[in-house]
Amino acid sequence: MSVKLMKAMLLQAPSDLVQTTVDDLTVGAGEVLVEVTHSGVCGTDLKIFRGDIPVQYPRVMGHEMIGKVVTAPTATGLAIGSRVVINPVLSCGQCFYCQAGQENLCPSGFLLGRDKNGGFADHICVPAEAVFPLPSQISNDCAPLIQVMTTCHHAQNLSSINPGETVVVVGLGVSGLLHVQLAKARGASRVIGITGSPVRRSMAEKFGADDTFSPDEDVTQEILNLTGGRGADLVIDCVGSMNTLRQAIELARPGGRLLLFGIYTDEIATLPFYQLYFKELILTNARAAKAEDFPACIQLVVDGTIDLDSMISHVLPLVELEQAIRMLDERDEARMKVILDHT
């Protein structure tokens, strides 16, 4: 089966986005054809749009997507018309990493929306193992956030948050607020959020943060006061700048851990390497989620442990993708997650 003249938002060159049609979309063996109904816009899309992350043009962006099954192999048990969320990180299934359960690191793998055409279109075709059923309790508007949540969930799996620990989250955007909720769900006794936005500090407290601070405050001293002079067990940098990385090193206790969640694009930087050495800190970087993170995150939302609905600030039609992307570049405290409605 194939889809003729699929409608899509096509990036022809940096900052050159057009609504158009693309060639046939052919469904291969073992693949599921999905009619995309909703998608999310994130910082990766902004960086691809600007040309900061190189791609082969033309490219259909978008890696946070849900939709309805159009066709599926019988063995999947997926009903036509059923709602699904898509894992955009695809792998070969055969290499050392795939066989070792690290399919997210597959050297032959790729990310939909960056390495191959993604979800800012009316249809997409993906391997059956990349599709996960969505329960009715999860709304269409918030469902694309499942993909974002899986990356946070995977990152925290790598960081091994233990009950009773103090976790600091630097940067309280969408990912930061998800990290706050997930850290509390894992049993962290104190979760501290840092951002310059009063609105987002308030949201973090709503989501379970025990304390929040502005970067303008003496954050290091405040955290020392809250931890008996030790510092944080884990610092999660959701910003991805050299300034916030330096701050994370400062805030972590000796023997503590850093989770570098933001995407760092700097090639040259000055860091307090002696402090990094002297504190004997463990640095963890998380690139992408695994397939196993999707069912786990779906269940956390269904159980009411994680609140996604409160994180949606805007829902726009797909044709307003460029406006949605440019919104991410604006300093607007009220703007949180932007969702695109394809219907």
Q: pLDDT per residue over 73-110, tens digit each? A: 999 999 999 999 999 999 999 999 999 999 999 999 99
Pair 191, 211 in one domain:
yes
Pair 332, 273 in one domain:
no
Pair 119, 188 in one domain:
no
Instruction: Report yes or no on 294 lying in a domain.
Output: no
Pair 78, 192 in one domain:
no
Identify the DSSP state of 121: B
Q: What CATH number has the domain bearing residue 224?
A: 3.40.50.720
Q: Which residues of 214-228 are buried (b: 16+ CB within 10 A; e: fewer)?
A: eeeeebeeebbebbe
Pair 236, 336 in one domain:
no
Pair 29, 132 in one domain:
yes
Give the three-class secondary structure for 301: helix
Average pLDDT in the 227-253 region? 95
Instruction: Report yes or no on 302 lying in a domain.
Output: no
Task: Look up the domain containing 246 and give its range.
Answer: 149-285
Look up residue 273 and give its amino acid. F
State the total domains in the chain: 2
Confidence band of 2 (pLDDT split at 50, 70, 90):
low
Q: What are the pLDDT digits (tens) for 273-330?
A: 888 889 999 999 998 999 999 999 999 999 999 999 999 999 999 999 999 999 998 8
Pair 10, 124 in one domain:
yes
Pair 139, 154 in one domain:
no
What's the Cα-to-Cα distance from 186 to each of 111, 164, 180, 223, 237, rounded to whole Å?
28, 9, 10, 20, 18
